[in-house]
Each structure stands twice: as C-alpha cells, then as structure tokens.
Amino acid sequence: MASSVACLHAASSIQAQGFKGSLTGSPNKIGVFPLRMVLKGFSLDVPLPERKGNCPRSLNLHVVRSSSSQSSIADPIELPSNSNSADSQKKSTEASLILIRHGESLWNEKNLFTGCVDVPLTKKGVEEAIEAGKRIRNIPIDMIYTSSLIRAQMTAMLVMSEHRRRKVPIIIHKETEEAQRWSQIYSEETKMQSIPVITAWQLNERMYGELQGLNKQETAELFGKEKVHEWRRSYDVPPPNGESLEMCAERSVTYFRDQIVPQLLAGKNVMIAAHGNSLRSIIMYLDKLTSQEVIKLELSTGIPMLYIFKNGKFIRRGSPIAPSEAGVYAYSRV
Amino acid sequence: MASAATCLHATSSIQAQGSKHVFPLQMVSKGFSLDMQLRAKRKNFPASLKLHAVHASSSHSSIADPIEVPSNNNSGDSEKKSTEASLILIRHGESLWNEKNLFTGCVDVPLTKKGVEEAIQAGKRISNIPIDMIYTSSLIRAQMTAMLAISEHRRKKVPIIIHNENEQAQKWSQIYSEETKKQSIPVITAWQLNERMYGELQGLNKQETAELFGKEKVHEWRRSYDVPPPNGESLEMCAERAVAYFRDQIVPQLLAGKNVMIAAHGNSLRSIIMYLDKLTSQEVIDLELSTGIPMLYIFKNGMFVRRGSPIPPSEAGVYAYTRAAATQHLDGFSLKLRKLHHNCIFQCLD
C-alpha cells in the first residue's frame, strides 16, 4: 500500500515522559482512565478484569491501580523503552498505536446528526486537534490512517503539525492510476522522511441513514423518540437506510485487522484519526468488549489514546499528557 | 454534482468596504513597459495598471469608486442573479515541503502551522463576501485552506464536501433535511484544480535537481510555458485542464448567479487568471500570486472584472490614492518581470 514510501521504524523509544498517569486532563481526575464509563459505567467496572488477559487493570473511575502482572501506566520501569534492547527484537514485537477522535464539527455545534456527511471542524475542533498533537508530539509515528471525511483528516494533519520529529505526512492517493502516478515521489531520501497517510472509508463514522442532517426535534417528530433512542443506543438496530453500530464495527474492525494490524506486526507505530463509532468499534476489538459494553463506551474528543502492541497483544496505556505538564504518578487520589 | 445540496443565492451584497484599495495588479520594477502592453491587449480591463496609483476608469467599474461596486441595494434580485456573481481565488499557504524547499507538484503535502495561519487570515478578509459554492483541488493543503478560511465566515452556512467518487460514497453522504441542505455550501474537489504535476522533480530539492538534470534544464522547465519536466506537466498542460474545468464547471455556476470561491494552487490559479484576464503565455509566466491572499473578481454581464484583494472588515478602508496607502496593499497580484532569479525558484511551486 505504502510501497512507494519506506517507513523507518521509530528508533526513539516511547518515553515515560509521554504518559505519566494523568489521562484526561481534568485537574481533579488525575489518573482517570480515559476510557470513561460515563453515567452508567460502574456496572461496567466489575466484569472487565476477569475478561481480558491483556488489560492492565480494573477500570475503576478516578483511580489508577498499578497491576503487578502487566505494565501499568503508573510504573515507568515497565514502560516499553528502547534503551538497550536490540532494534530487531523491538521491531517485531512492539509498536505503539494512537487513536484520536476528532473534535467538534460544525454540525456538532448545531446538534445535527452527522454520520457520513462530510462536515468540517469548527474553530474549537481545530484547537482540539492542535492540543491533541501537543500531547503526542514525542511518540513516534510511522503511519497514519484516517477516514475519508475531512474532519478526521484535518485532525490528523493538525496533530502532526505539532509533532517534534520532522517527518512529513503525505496523503497516499490510489483512487485511480493517474492519481497514483501524479503523486509519485522521486527522491528516496524524501520518501524516508515521509509518513504515509492512508484514507479509508472503512474508518468513517457510522452511517446514519435518514437521520443525517436532521436535528433532535425533527427526528423525534418524524420517527418518534423511542425509535430514535433505539437506533442510537442499540447495537444492531440500524436507522432507515443507515448502519447499526454492529455494521459499523464490522467494516471498521475488518479494516483494522486486515490492514493495520500487519503494520503493527511489522513494528510500525500507527496513529488512527477517526470517529466516535469507528474508534469504539476498534476499541471493542482491542479490549474485547461485549456489545453491551461498547454501547456504553464514550470516547473523549481530541484526547489521544495510546495502546502498545506487544507480542501480538494490545495493552492500553491511557492518554499521554503534554510534555510540558508536570508528570504526576497517580498513586494518590489527589 | 452538488445535487444533494441546494445553494441559496447570496442576497447580501459585496460591500464596498471589501474593496477600498489599490488595484492589486502591481507592476513591480520594470513594470511600465508591461503596463502599456496590457492596456492594449485587453478591452475589458477596468483600469490602467500603473504602479501605486489607481485611476478611476470611466468605462468600467473601478475599485476606487464605491458607487460602482456591485451592491444589492434595491436592484431586482433576479436581475442581479443572472448577471453578477463574485469569484474569490485563494492560493493556499506554506506547506511542509515549501518549508523544506522541495518540489511538491501533486504530492499531497499538508500545511505548516504558518500555512494554517495564512488560511485563517485569508478567511478573515472575506468573511463578509457571500459564498455559495466552493471548489478546491484534491490535495489536502487546498482543502484545509478552504475549510479554515470559511471557518471565519460571518454567515453561518456550513461547507459540506460532496462525495461523488462512487455510488456508495454518494449514498452515504446524503443529507435528509431540506432546511439543512439550504444551510449548506457545497464543496467540490477536483483534480483538475491540482497544482501543476512536476513529474520527476517531485520530492527533489534544488541541489538534487541541478545535479540530476543540470541547472539550465531545470530553469527551462520552471520558466517556460510549454516544456514539461520528465513525466510531468508543462504550465500549458496544467492550464489546459484547469481552465477547461473552470470554463465547463465553474462558469455555469457564476452564470447562474452563484458566488464561488476557489481554493487552489499557484499554477492552477494563475492559469485561471490567465483566462480571466486574457494574459499571454509570457505574462502568465511572470505572474506571481501571493499565498493566503484572497483575490476577488466580479463576474458581470459575462465578463470578469478584477476587484483586488479584500481587506478584513476590521481594518480601516483606505482608498489607495496615496503612495503610502498603496504600499500597504502589495498583496494579491504581483506581476514581477522575472529575471533569471534563482532565489525565487520555489516561490510559485507548491
């Protein structure tokens, strides 16, 4: 896919400074795991530790407990680092995966169902992307995947504009042979300094069918509140001419598994800039959530989520804080 | 093409405040001989292109004359609709390869932080000019420029990028509310508005190209009208597909009274300007467009009238009658007669 661009595996390590505990940025919630179980989330808390072998610890709200068996966010020593281990060993067994949900779009602002309508970011959404970029500016990135919608693409580009390493993101064009030919790079050195950006409709937001463009009131009038609630809150009931969350998950997880996991296996550090539903579908796959759990999962916008892919498994690492912030270990409730 | 979104014709006028300034086509340095040439060639040119002074022309609307600025006060809407529309051209700002001095062409390189800023500033300048449709290239730096510029727009219509690449894309992006459609500005992406494709120079820096091909050859490709680099486009080839697209797709919108903004690249835009201003190939080679500075044209009675570069509404509108004021508005168009000037080798190349 990115055949014309060679990607160097990041030699610099995923430094401890990138993620010392504090996750969401809210000052009184140091250590809150960014995968917030909002509202009815506590019931979600209990089943998780039993289910997943590779999940670091319980998802207790507001507190991070270090787990003895697996690396935890709070323990810097166990963070994957590249100090003296052989590059090749790291290459084949470890890579970082960053997920970013785009920020506010112009229809979010207007409270319209957006789905796959290609609506750009608001100024606030632009700001969110820039802030997200600051948080991950030291985490190596070799490849970027994004949806075919401008709000995710702009988020990715704005995030990268804050990146410390001076590799240049280049959007790959394969829609036609001409597009491919026209976008060819003729310098090997330049290719090595490039980060391929792959756009994929499979990472698009869930397609909302006949709700797209309507506001809450209109949909209630047209379809009835209960029906709308069911489409929004169920796992497998699609709105008219639209996708259910299940359908969205199917095409995005398939894409992730078939296209992105091989890159991680090859040791490439990957960033995915996408949407609420496509990302939580992927997280459902990474964290082995049930359909009930994924319905309740709410991802913050503009907050990067880091996973380490190691020995074929995904380890959740939380949300990196910006390097300028004081690193705080979440041992205390304060 | 924009069938999923209906566009309202802008009822608010193109205010005089937007165009109180120097005619932006400036003749720098040896410009005076060019001045005469241009006057002779084109009949529909509003004013003479003398440096630093704006002369009001009696026959055509000029920038300095507020009365003749197209406004929508009391004239019938239908009359305005069919005969007048505004056309805004914006060249995107600095890209990451501009910063590195690499030939970019059609490689899809994003904006730098500076380029993002330029787009936002451009948007402030045109925040009051009605826009009904947006055209951009298929490259992210132009698309981002368009979106960032429009994020500053006063009227709260929402730009929506139209997806027609295949049937699924079209179906998936459908809007189901008429009211919402009316509040939308369709954004059409077109490869025909892409930057000139630079073939085997894409990704190379100045030194590499000189080593590989020789300085003179590279200079010829960059400065000639019709000599393409290997596997690339000449400016003529770029102009052909850009102007054909403009004529076939965009002019009909203007004829229908739609106000259009085009966010694109140095070479595709100057190709279009060549068409609008009826420049010769020699003149278009010498044409340099500032980045991030919107250029406004009025399409009236089938003719394009250049209106210069709008200043942001917050700035004092100053008629450029004095030399001091004129130098403030060096943006927009600048016709620099090029010598063999190796330093500006990357200026017009995106």
**Does B211 map to a domain?**
yes
Q: Give mean pLDDT in consecutive 10-residue pieces for chain A, a chain of 334 residues.
A: 39 36 38 39 36 40 37 35 46 86 94 96 95 94 98 97 90 95 96 97 97 93 92 94 97 98 97 97 96 92 95 91 49 36
| Neighboring chain A residues of B190 at a CB cutoff of 8 Å | none
Residue that has been written with the tokens 């490869």 in this structure: B191
Q: What are phi and psi of B87, to 5 degrees?
A: -130, 120
> How many Å lie between the alpha carbon of B120 and the closest alpha carbon of chain A?
10
Tell whether A207 lies on the interface with B, counting CB pairs under 8 A. yes
| One domain, residues B132 and B181 | yes
State how far the Cα of B63 lies from the Cα of B308, in Å rounded to an integer: 8
Q: How far apart, in Å, are the Cα atoms of B274 and each of B7, B221, B236, B238?
A: 28, 19, 11, 12
- Give me the pLDDT at residue B83, please: 74
Residues B271, B328 share a domain: no
Are A148 and B169 within 8 A, CB to CB? yes
- Tokens standing for residue B35: 């001045």
B53 shares its domain with B115: no
A183 touches chain B (CB under 8 A): yes
Question: Phi/psi of residue A37, each to 5°?
Answer: -90, 100
In a domain, A282, yes or no: yes
Domain contains A179: yes
Rounded distance between C-alpha atoms, residue A161 and residue B148, angstroms: 15
Does residue A180 fall inside a structural domain? yes
Alpha-carbon distance of B105 to A105, in angstroms, equals 30
DSSP B345: T
Q: Do A185 and B107 make contact, defined as CB atoms within 8 angstroms?
A: yes
Band the pLDDT of B314: cuts 50, 70, 90: low
Residue B203 has pLDDT above 80, yes or no: yes
Question: In this predicted structure, what is the pLDDT of residue A323?
Answer: 58
- Give B139 or B77, the one with higher predicted confidence: B139
The nearest alpha carbon in chain A to B166 belongs to A175
Nearest by Cα to B108 from B135, B144, B159: B144
Q: Which whole number is the average pLDDT over B87-111?
A: 96
Please pick, among A94, A205, A243, A293, the residue that the annotation labels catalytic.
A205
pLDDT at residue B45 in the model: 40
**Type of residue at B159:** P
> What pLDDT score was predicted for residue B37?
37
* pLDDT tens digits, B13-24: 333 333 333 334
In the annotation, is B92 catalytic? yes
Q: Closest by alpha carbon to A170, among A142, A135, A210, A132?
A: A142
Average pLDDT over residues B24-39: 36
Q: What is the mean pLDDT of residues B257-274?
A: 97
Looking at the partner chain, which of A116, A173, A191 has a beta carbon nearest the beta carbon of B108? A173
Q: Quick check: B203 and A213 CB within 8 A? A: no
In terms of DSSP bridges, do strands B260-264 and B26-28 run parallel, antiparallel, or are they unpaired? unpaired
Kindly state whether residues B83 and B221 are assigned to the same domain: yes
Give the up-direction half-sphere exposure of residue B341: CA atoms within 13 A in the CB hemisphere: 10
Q: How far is A250 from chain B, CA to nearest CA, in Å?
A: 16
Q: What pLDDT sits at residue A137?
A: 93
Which residue type occupies B11?
A: T
Top pLDDT among B222 and B327 is at B222
The answer to whether residue A9 is domain-embedded is no
Q: What is the CATH number of the domain that holds B124?
A: 3.40.50.1240
Let me know whether B121 and B17 are in one domain. no
Phi, psi of A24 (to 5 degrees): -95, -10
A121, A157 contact by CB (below 8 A): no
**Confidence tier at B73 by pLDDT (50, 70, 90):** very low
Chain B residues whose beta carbon lies within 8 Å of the beta carbon of residue A209: 176
CB interface of A with B, residues 212-231, below 8 Å: 212-215, 218
| Residue that has been written with the tokens 């969350």 in this structure | A245
- Inside any domain, residue A195: yes
Same domain for B158 and B216?
yes
Token pair, residue A77, equals 């020593």
Contact B177 A218 (CB under 8 A): yes
Interchain proximity B140–A117, CB inside 8 Å: no
Q: For residue A185, which residues of chain B lie inside 8 Å, CB to CB?
A: 107, 202-203
- Among partner residues A123, A183, A191, which is closest to B151 by beta-carbon distance? A123
> Minimal Cα–Cα distance from B249 to chain A, Å?
20
Q: Among residues B21, B92, B153, B329, which one is catalytic?
A: B92
**Maximum C-alpha span of chain A:** 63
Q: What is the predicted pLDDT for the residue at A154?
A: 97
Higher-pLDDT residue of B188 and A89 is: B188
Residue B92 lies in a domain: yes
Among chain B residues, the shortest Cα distance to A155 is held by B144
User: How many domains is chain B partitioned into structurally?
Assistant: 2
Q: Does position B92 have pLDDT exceeding 80, yes or no? A: yes
pLDDT of residue A164: 87
pLDDT of residue A324: 54
Residues 111-170, chain B, touching A (beta carbon < 8 A): 111-113, 116, 138-140, 143-144, 147-148, 150-151, 158-163, 165, 168-169
Per the CB < 8 Å rule, is A161 touching B111? yes
Q: What is the model's pTM?
A: 0.73
Q: Nearest 5°: CA angle at A244, between A240 and A245? A: 155
Burial class (CB in 10 A: 0-12, 13-18, 19+), B293: buried
Task: Note whether B191 and B333 are same-domain residues.
Answer: no
Amino acid A183: pLDDT? 96
For residue A175, list chain B residues with Cβ-Cβ distance below 8 A.
165
Q: Considering Cα of A108, then A109, then A110, then A116, what sign does the dihedral take?
A: negative
- The per-residue pLDDT for B313 is 65
pLDDT per position as a tens digit, A82-119: 444 444 454 457 999 999 999 999 999 899 999 999 99
Q: Are residues B86 and B190 in the same domain?
A: yes
Q: Is A61 on the interface with B (CB under 8 A)?
A: no
Q: pLDDT-derived band of residue B178, with 50, 70 and 90 as boundaries?
A: very high
- Give me the pLDDT at residue A322, please: 64
| Closest residue in B to A207 (Cα–Cα) | B172
pLDDT at residue A165, as a whole number? 76
- The type of residue at B103 is F
pLDDT of residue B163: 96
Residue B36 has pLDDT above 70, yes or no: no
Question: CA-CA distance, B243 to B250, in Å (whole number)?
Answer: 10
Provide CB contacts within 8 A for A89, sequence distance 6+. Answer: none
pLDDT(B131) > 70: yes
What confidence score (pLDDT) does residue B99 get? 87
B:236-265 residues touching chain A, CB 8 A cutoff: none
Maximum pairwise Cα distance, chain B: 63
Nearest of B170, B130, B150 to residue B18 by alpha carbon: B130
Q: Is residue B309 part of a domain?
A: no
What is the DSSP annotation of B144-208? HHHHHHHTT-SS--EEEE---SSHHHHHHT----HHHHHTEEEEEE-GGGSPPP-GGGTT-BHHH
What range does the domain containing B174 cover? 70-301
Indicate the residue type of A140. P
B225 and B323 both lie in a single domain:
no
| Secondary structure, 3-state, B43-108 | CCCCCCCCCCCCCCCCCCCCCCCHHHCCCCCCCCHHHHHHHEEEEEEEECCCEHHHHHCECCCCCE
Question: Can A205 be counted among the known catalytic residues?
Answer: yes
Res B47: pLDDT: 39
Residues 6+ apart with CB under 8 A from A77: none
Same domain flag for B125 and B145: yes
Contacts for B272 with CB less than 8 Å, ≥ 6 apart: B89, B242, B243, B246, B262, B264
